[in-house]
Structure 1
Amino acid sequence: MGRRRAATDPIYPRWIWIAAAATVALLIVGGALVLRTLIFPADSGDGGPAARNGTPPPAGEPLVQDAPAAVAGASPCIPLNILTSLENAEMVRALAAEYTAKPRNVDGKCVAPAVSQERSGAAAGKAAAQFPGVPAGERPTVWLPDSSAWLRIAGEGTGGNRSVPREGTSVARSAIVVAMPETMVTALGWDRQPPSWSEVFKMAGEQDVWERLGHGDWGKFKFGKASPLVSTSGLMALAASYGAAGGSVGGLDGMDLDAASLVEKVRAVELGTSHYMATPEHFLWHAREADNAGNVSEFLSAVIVDEKSVWDYNRGVVSEDGTTKKSGPAPKEPLRAIYPVDGVHVADNPAVVLGGDWVGNQQRLAAQDFLAFAVTEQGQRVVEASGYRSVQGKLDSGVAKTGRYAETLQPLPLPKAEALVAMQDSFPEVRKRARALFLLDVSDSMVQEPGLTKLQRAKDAVLKAVDHFTGEDEVGLAAFSHEGDGPLQPGIVSPVAPFKTNKGDIAAKLNELQAVEATPLFEAVSRFAGDQAKEYKDTFINTIVLLSDGKNDTRHPGDLGGLSEQLSHQYHSTPVLVFTLAYGPDADVPTLREIARASGAHYYDATDPARLGEVLGELVTSF
Structure 2
Amino acid sequence: MRLCFFRLALLIVSIFGLGACNGCNPQKAPTQDPSADKPPGATSAAGSATAGAANSGAAGREVEVFLIYGSEKKTWLEESIKAFEPQKKTTASGRPITIRAKAMGSGESVQAIVNGTDKPHVFSPASSAYIALLNSAYAQKRAKPIAQPGETVVLSPVVIAMWKPMAEALGWPKSPIGWSDLLKVNLDPRGWGSKGFAEWGRFKLGHTHPEFSNSGFLSVLAEAYAGAKKTRGLSRADLDNPSTRKFLESVEQTIVHYGTSTGFFTDKMIARGPAYMSATVSYENLVIESYQKNPPQPIIAIYPKEGTFWSDHPYSILDAEWVGNEEREAAKIFLEFLKARPQQERALALGFRPGEASVPIASPIDLAHGVDPKQPQNLLEVPEVATLEKLLDVWKDTKKTTDVVLVFDKSGSMRGRPLEEAKRGAKSFLDVLSDRDEVTLSFFDTVVYPTVGPVKLGDGGRKQLAQRIDGVSAGGGTSLYDAIDKAYEDVSKRAASARGRIHAIVVMTDGNDEGSRLTLPALKRRFPNEADTPVKVFTIAYGEGASADVLDEIAESAKGSAARGSVETINRVYADMAAFF
Equivalence for 1:407: 373
Instruction: Describe how 1:280-291 pairs up with structure 2 within 5 A.
Output: 280-290=262-272
Change in 2 beyond 3 A, CA 1:181/1:253: same
Instruction: Describe how 1:83-162 pairs up with structure 2 within 5 A.
Output: 83-107=68-92, 108-127=94-113, 129=114, 131-134=115-118, 139-155=119-135
Change in 2 beyond 3 A, CA 1:358/1:228: same
Which digits, 9 at most, give the CA deviation of each residue in 1:354-375, with x for residues without a partner?
1112110011111122222322
Instruction: Describe how 1:418-457 pairs up with structure 2 within 5 A.
Output: 418=385, 422-423=390-391, 427-447=395-415, 451-452=416-417, 454-457=418-421
Change in 2 beyond 3 A, CA 1:531/1:102: same
Equivalence for 1:506: 465
> TM-score normalized by structure 1?
0.77
Equivalence for 1:334: 298
Change in 2 beyond 3 A, CA 1:153/1:559: closer
Which digits, 9 at most, give the CA deviation of each residue in 1:116-152, with x for residues without a partner?
111123323444x2x4234xxxx21111111223234
Change in 2 beyond 3 A, CA 1:416/1:118: farther
2:269 partner SS = helix
Equivalence for 1:614: 572
Whether contact under 8 Å (2:160, 2:280) holds in the other structure is yes
1:90 partner SS = helix
Instruction: Describe how 1:434-513 pairs up with structure 2 within 5 A.
Output: 434-447=402-415, 451-452=416-417, 454-482=418-446, 488-497=447-456, 499-500=458-459, 502-513=461-472
What amino acid does structure 1 have at the position aligned with 2:73? Answer: N
Change in 2 beyond 3 A, CA 1:234/1:611: same
Distance in 2, Cα, partners of 1:210 & 1:565: 29
Q: CA deviation at 1:478?
A: 0.9
Distance in 1, Cα, partners of 2:389 & 2:460: 30
User: Is 1:605 matched up with 2:564?
Assistant: yes
Distance in 2, Cα, partners of 1:460 & 1:147: 31
Equivalence for 1:577: 536
Distance in 2, Cα, partners of 1:553 & 1:192: 59
Instruction: Describe how 1:538-617 pairs up with structure 2 within 5 A.
Output: 538-560=499-521, 562-569=522-529, 572=532, 575-606=534-565, 608-617=566-575
Instruction: Describe how 1:31-430 pairs up with structure 2 within 5 A.
Output: 48=33, 75-107=60-92, 108-127=94-113, 129=114, 131-134=115-118, 139-155=119-135, 163=145, 167-204=149-186, 208-213=190-195, 215-248=197-230, 250-252=231-233, 256=237, 259=240, 261=242, 262-263=244-245, 265-290=247-272, 296-316=273-293, 330-391=294-355, 392=357, 394-398=360-364, 400=366, 403-409=369-375, 410-413=377-380, 415=382, 418=385, 422-423=390-391, 427-430=395-398
Larger mean CA deviation between 155-164 and 427-436 belongs to 155-164
Q: Mark the runs of 5 or more structure 1 residues left unpaired by the alignment.
A: 8-12, 21-40, 51-72, 291-295, 317-329, 483-487
Change in 2 beyond 3 A, CA 1:79/1:331: same
Whether contact under 8 Å (2:148, 2:316) holds in the other structure is no
Change in 2 beyond 3 A, CA 1:501/1:416: closer
Change in 2 beyond 3 A, CA 1:613/1:18: farther
Change in 2 beyond 3 A, CA 1:103/1:509: closer
Q: CA deviation at 1:547?
A: 0.8
Number of matched residues?
A: 534
2:65 partner SS = strand
Whether contact under 8 Å (1:439, 1:478) holds in the other structure is yes
Which digits, 9 at most, give the CA deviation of each residue in 1:179-217, with x for residues without a partner?
122232233333432312332344455575134445444
Distance in 2, Cα, partners of 1:48 & 1:16: 19
Whether contact under 8 Å (1:83, 1:143) holds in the other structure is yes
Change in 2 beyond 3 A, CA 1:421/1:375: farther
Whether contact under 8 Å (1:435, 1:542) holds in the other structure is yes
Q: CA deviation at 1:162?
A: 7.4
Change in 2 beyond 3 A, CA 1:464/1:446: same
Larger mean CA deviation between 109-118 and 468-477 belongs to 468-477
1:99 partner SS = helix
Larger mean CA deviation between 280-289 and 506-515 belongs to 506-515
Q: Percent identity?
A: 24
2:532 partner SS = helix
2:71 partner SS = coil
- Give 1:522's match in structure 2, choosing from 465, 481, 486: 481
Whether contact under 8 Å (1:175, 1:346) holds in the other structure is yes
2:569 partner SS = helix
What amino acid does structure 2 have at the position aligned with 1:82? Answer: L
Distance in 2, Cα, partners of 1:377 & 1:523: 59
Equivalence for 1:68: none
2:353 partner SS = coil
Supply the RMSD in Å over aligned alpha carbons.
Answer: 3.3
Equivalence for 1:319: none
What amino acid does structure 2 have at the position aligned with 1:121? Answer: G
> TM-score normalized by structure 2?
0.82
Whether contact under 8 Å (1:120, 1:230) holds in the other structure is no
Distance in 1, Cα, partners of 2:580 & 2:70: 19
What amino acid does structure 2 have at the position aligned with 1:507? Answer: A
Which digits, 9 at most, give the CA deviation of each residue in 1:21-49, with x for residues without a partner?
xxxxxxxxxxxxxxxxxxxx9x98xx946
1:289 partner SS = helix
Change in 2 beyond 3 A, CA 1:555/1:359: closer
Which digits, 9 at most, give the CA deviation of each residue in 1:39-60, with x for residues without a partner?
xx9x98xx9469xxxxxxxxxx
Change in 2 beyond 3 A, CA 1:599/1:220: farther
Larger mean CA deviation between 99-108 and 411-420 belongs to 411-420
Equivalence for 1:35: none
Whether contact under 8 Å (1:207, 1:221) holds in the other structure is no
Distance in 2, Cα, partners of 1:505 & 1:604: 27
Q: CA deviation at 1:509?
A: 2.8
Q: CA deviation at 1:17?
A: 8.5
What amino acid does structure 2 have at the position aligned with 1:403? Answer: H
Q: CA deviation at 1:414?
A: 5.2
Which digits, 9 at most, give the CA deviation of each residue in 1:266-313, with x for residues without a partner?
3443222221011122223322332xxxxx123211100001112222
Whether contact under 8 Å (2:152, 2:315) holds in the other structure is yes
Distance in 2, Cα, partners of 1:269 & 1:407: 27
Whether contact under 8 Å (1:219, 1:572) holds in the other structure is no
Distance in 2, Cα, partners of 1:611 & 1:17: 26
Whether contact under 8 Å (1:345, 1:412) holds in the other structure is yes
What amino acid does structure 1 have at the position aligned with 2:117? Answer: G
What amino acid does structure 1 have at the position aligned with 2:507? Answer: L
Whether contact under 8 Å (1:16, 1:122) holds in the other structure is no
Distance in 2, Cα, partners of 1:100 & 1:81: 14
Larger mean CA deviation between 374-383 and 577-586 belongs to 374-383
What amino acid does structure 2 have at the position aligned with 1:566? Answer: R
